[in-house]
Structures are given as structure tokens and as C-alpha cells.
Amino acid sequence: MDTSFFNGTLSPREFSLASSAFADKWRRFNPTFPSWTWVPCKKLPWAPSDEVEGYLKLENVCLPGSSKVDSEGGSCVGKEETSCSDNEDLIDNATLVQSSHHEVHYYDFHIVYNASYRVPVLYFRAYCSDGQPLLLDEIEKDLPACSAKLLLESKWTFISQEEHPYLNRPWYKVHPCGTSEWMKLLALGDAVQAKNGVSIEQYLVSWLSVVGQVVGLKIPLEMLNDS
């Protein structure tokens, strides 16, 4: 994918290829963390017949909410706080932010293709150990400080709740507006990509390195370097 023609978007077929490559890389560089898996789906009514339908999922990931979880020997993944500083944007192992609560919260993440914007969209939901769903105000307390501040300033435009396109149930999503523009900037700002073009296989890695920070989900640094 030549950067001179790269507009920051993906076709449905490219999204499918990018998803497969991303899931493989995640397992290879992050074997101790839950895996992203591809969920094949029935074609949506308006989708062309040649489109590959499905989405990526990462589910049952828990956010350790307090020292109580640690003392009880909880098996929650990731206990390192996130940061929005440039120097700490990327770390060697995938982590999720630590909540300030005493209750462990579980998160499901789905990466779904949006045909209107032609970019991936991060859908997510959160719930307690008893399955009780969390409201946005409760989720806000789990978010990195920078995301919580942005959410407070632009609620329902930055993160909004809408029906999951495949599950027909309400999920939260990080709005895709502007995704194609900053994906183009990422490509131009990377010396390797600027020279060799943007790899479809690397698209979701670059994308999640930005979008994942919104919810405190980070990717292994090695995934970004493996282009």
C-alpha cells in the first residue's frame, strides 16, 4: 500500500487480511495475554456479496480494581497504570489500566469494520464479576486520566453507546471520526512506512497503538517494530 495513494482507510477485504495478521502477531508477541480471535458472521443485508464478514474479539479481560485483588492472588492481567505522555505511550507487554475501585471489572473488546468510514472501530462493554453491566460514569473511573478528561469534555461524541452491528445489543464505541486522517499522519511520520508504504498487515497494529490508549489497552512494542 503506497503512502502516496494511502488515504487511511481499508476495504472490507483488507480489513479481513489485517485482522488475521494482527491476531497472529498478538499471539506471537504477547503469548501470556488473552488472544484476539476472528468471529465470522452472516453478511449484513447491505453488504456486497464478495465482502468477508466478521470482527475481532478480545473478551473477559479484567481490570484489577484494588490491592485487595492482589492480596487474594487474583489472576487479572495487567497491573501497570497507563500514561498519556509520549515517552510512555508504548510498553513491552500489553497491559490494562488499574481501576481505583474495589470491584474487579471485566471488559470485552471488539474491532468491527465500519463501512461508512471504511476504518476499524473499537466496540467495548464492561461488567462486574456477577455480570452486571457498568454505566459510562462507572467506566470513566477505569479509564486513563487523559481519556476520562476528554470524555468529560465531549461525552457522547468521543465515546458513545449504540447497537453492536452484529450482536444487536447496546455497546460502547470509540467514535471513528478522524481515524483515516491520523492513520495517514502515522504513515507519513514513520520512516520505514514512508519509504516502503503502509502494510495492510501492520494497519491494525498502528491503529490500536492509538485507539487502545483510550481504554488503557496497550500493545507490545515489538509488534510495532515488526513491519
- pTM value is 0.78
pLDDT tens string 6-59: 889 999 999 999 999 999 999 999 898 899 999 998 776 666 655 668 999 999
Whether residue 173 contacts residue 179, with contact meaning beta carbons closer than 8 Å, is answered with no
The pLDDT of residue 99 is: 47
Instruction: State the Cα–Cα distance between residues 115 and 154, nearest whole angstrom.
Output: 24
> What's the per-residue H, E or C state across the chain?
CCCCCCCCCCCHHHHHHHHHHHHHHHHHHCCCCCCCEEEECCCCCCCCCCCCCEEEEEEEEEECCCHHHHHCCCCCCCCCCCCCCHHHCCECCCCCCCCCCCCCEEEEEEEEEECCCCEEEEEEEEEECCCCECCHHHHHCCCCHHHHHHHHHCCCCCEEEEECCCCCCEEEEECCCCHHHHHHHHHHHCHHHHHHCCCHHHHHHHHHHHHHHHHCCCCEHHHHHCC
CA nearest to 123, candidates 220, 217, 47, 201: 217
Cα-to-chain-centroid distance, residue 204: 9
pLDDT tier at 169 (50, 70, 90 boundaries)? very high
Instruction: State the Cα–Cα distance between residues 54 and 44, nearest whole angstrom.
Output: 10
Whether residue 212 contacts residue 218, with contact meaning beta carbons closer than 8 Å, is answered with yes
Cα-to-chain-centroid distance, residue 9: 16
Range of lowest pLDDT (46-50, 108-112, 123-127, 219-223): 46-50
CA nearest to 22, candidates 11, 8, 37: 37
Cell numbers for 173: 464505541
223, 208, 219, 108 alpha-carbon torsion, rounded to 10°: -130
pLDDT tier at 154 (50, 70, 90 boundaries)? low
How many CB atoms are closer than 10 A to CB 195?
A: 8
Greater model confidence, 40 or 197: 40
pLDDT tens string 62-77: 854 422 334 344 445 5
Identify which of 49-58, 166-175, 217-226 has the greatest average pLDDT.
Answer: 166-175
Instruction: State the Cα–Cα distance between residues 80 and 217, nearest whole angstrom.
Output: 11
Catalytic residue among 41, 76, 128, 177: 177
177: annotated active-site residue: yes
